[in-house]
Amino acid sequence: MKKQILTLLMAVILLCSLSAACFAQEEKENYYTPTTPKWVSEKGYWTIENNIKTPKNSIIYFYNNENTLVYKEKIEGMRINLKRRKVLMHLKNVLEQSVTAWEKQHILRHDEMLVATALKK
């Protein structure tokens, strides 16, 4: 009799631990939802070309989602700190302005000082 009770008790403990583990897995999957940062635009993307020897000179290229260059600006005398959220938000705003202007005219714009004035604010 003792052996049967012990076996039954072990079976109940095993079932409870398995059901708790399955329940915990469901909660963990629903707990984490990936989000995109606010500085990422849905209209396109930008890239920066710079050199280690001349950190205060950069060229920023703005592209739409079809990988078409819509705006290009050369920055001289200013270091762009990509770790700052404010800088990333300014780049997003310039990107969205450039893409909407390109959609209206389909003309490549360059060196209109959009980024330089946005970063000096």
Residue 54, token pair as written in the block:
């001349």
Instruction: Tell which residue, 103, 111, 116, 115, has the closest CA to residue 43.
Output: 103
- Predicted confidence (pLDDT) per residue in 46-67, tens digit: 999 998 999 899 999 999 999 9
Residue 88, token pair as written in the block:
């990333």
* pLDDT over 90 at 35, yes or no: no
How much is the pTM? 0.70
